[in-house]
Structure 1
């Protein structure tokens, strides 16, 4: 009996569908069955504001300024990754518009375009780069820089590239909310880092719990709003399948491009891996809070849905790819 249990435990640990993803799906189901209404919804809206500010304060306590300065020496690597994140991805998002918007509808296409504008992930980009035996220090700096710059660049890209038709309102007030709710807490976290940083470093589970807990809360509130407004009645199974297929193709295309271009630019194997995993990832942790602020009072549930689907697909594919690269590196070392 112990052997099957151990095998099941090992499989669950390796499975890309971890407890975090299950919690997100659970939040969607609970919101569909028991959406927040009335006073409870208003209270939760304020809780989300405080939770997001606290989350980015914690992000500010993570990154040592010296690490960022030291890592900036490899400027070609970082510029390449940032170019994929904030230039190539947005251009791809605009290019696919005429093809996919008639299929998935305006709001879901807005979500697909929005996911192309958010910064890269931090934890998973670094983790996959490490598993693949890539340039981990470079990945740390690039992924962190992507999130820092994304606090400013993503709202600006949204203003420049996304329309303001319908209920979506994107203006200077939204950008100020982003700066006050996300950038300011991050800066305060950087300032407070010498005093509180060691505590959070010793208690990493606190940051992880706040990170994932905030995302689950944002998902619940966003989808509750969607249920209250009845917007889910306009989305059918075919549209959801289409979003999943488009997300899969988008991940595959970006994985190929972020490998082919760096190889042509004669980056080392380690750098190519860092570029591939940092340049193709899109952050659910950063994207959801931003969407909540930028699209407050709108069909935010539909807009964040493509990012949630894309996030799961990128985890599955990158997990498989990183493991394959790691095995190849180990085999080359042995031989």
Structure 2
């Protein structure tokens, strides 16, 4: 019975991780104490260490030869990165006059933070594979996007906040990102050709579970702080549903634009799938760990993560349905 339920949920992009994210929010609302506790062995402190380990293992799994080999399809790469780092933020900036005031100001900032994030790696590659797209290009673009996001995401946030966030100089944020994220990635990348790189590749599935556990701990601590400070008192079910509808509309709008640009550029079917899937997805991993640095000690962090979490869940459900539909058409011989 449990296996049947898991398969049914999997068909719609729902897995234990998305359900666990919801569980962490509920847990934080009822028992925020452990999430707001301070100390060297608190959940928050251990999550900080987990962030660095996530990116160390990420660099450890990056194969430099494969990345260099993937440079040849430059038109596809430019389209994906432009969609990820230009199209998304520009769309949110166009909406700023309508939303960046009053009760919607924080949600707009959370939406812009979502728009500034890099593309996700694992789910992009998996969905491209299901739809029979260009898998090597998906791996290349998702990996490059993750590296570029270390610099581009804080730069966009500095622009959106006028260079300061929560009374903290953005130069401090960049330094912390360099030490906590970029340095572990570079160290892992340098160690990739060694035995450690082979071990990381062999146990990549187990490392994915480690990533997800760290993310869950960050989500729990962020929402614990927000619930403890009563940050959600003005956010009801109606507003939450409206936010979900908005991020879903954002996904389909970007997906539509990317798909049509790929057609105008006469991409083949495989490249078009990779462009639309990779260019329309956002990384929850980068969202949670960067939020922990950029919005450090802010009780608003839980609210600011809401658009990212909703987008993550809804993009997985949407792309899962789309990818399976494409796979069926491809198997039937339709373009």
Give the structure-2-normalised TM-score: 0.93
Distance 1:96 1:57, change over 3 A: same
- Between the two proteins, the alignment pairs up a number of residues equal to 331
136 and 11 in structure 1: CA distance in 2 versus 1, 3 angstrom threshold: same
Q: Runs of at least 4 residues of structure 1 off by over 6 A? A: none
Match of 2:330 in 1: 329
Conservation of the 8 A alpha-carbon contact between 1:104 and 1:242: no
1:81: how far off? Answer: 0.4
Residues 330 and 146 (structure 1), Cα distance of their counterparts in 2 relative to 1, 3 Å cut: same
Between stretches 118-127 and 232-241, larger displacement belongs to: 232-241
Runs (5+) with no aligned partner, structure 1: none
Residue 282 of structure 1 aligns to a residue whose secondary structure is: coil
Counting only pairs closer than 5 Å after superposition, residues 96-175 of structure 1 correspond to structure 2 as 96-101=95-100, 105-163=104-162, 167=166, 169=168, 171-175=170-174
Tell me, yes or no, if the aligned pair for 2:222 and 2:301 is still in contact at 8 Å: yes
More displaced 10-residue stretch of structure 1: 247-256 or 225-234: 225-234
Residue 13 of structure 2 contacts residue 318 of structure 2 at CA under 8 Å; is this kept in 1? no
Which of 21, 24, 34 is the aligned partner of 1:27? 24
Cα offset for 1:37?
A: 5.3
CA-CA distance at 1:162 after TM superposition: 3.2
Could you state the TM-score of these two structures normalised by the residue count of structure 1?
A: 0.93
Where does residue 289 of structure 1 map in the other structure?
Answer: 289
Structure 1 residue 149, shift from structure 2 partner: 0.8
The aligned residue for residue 192 of structure 1 is: 191
Q: In the alignment, which residue of structure 2 is the partner of 1:244?
A: 244
Query: Once the two structures are superposed, what CA deviation does each residue of 1:25-51 show, in whole Å capped at 9, x if it has no partner?
Result: 111111111113598344222211100
Shift of the 6–196 alpha-carbon distance from structure 1 to 2, 3 Å rule, reads closer
Q: d(CA) in 1 for partners of 2:31 and 2:93?
A: 36
Aligned pair in 2 of structure 1 residues 35, 319: CA closer, same or farther (>3 Å)? Answer: same
1:307 is the counterpart of 2:311: no
8 Å CA contact 1:128–1:318 kept in 2: the answer is yes
Q: Which consecutive unaligned segments of at least 5 residues does structure 2 have?
A: none
Q: For the structure 1 residues 38 and 140, does the alpha-carbon distance in structure 2 shift closer, same or farther, using more than 3 Å as the test?
A: closer
- The residue number in structure 2 matching 1:55 is 54
RMSD: 2.0
Per the alignment, residue 202 of structure 1 pairs with 202
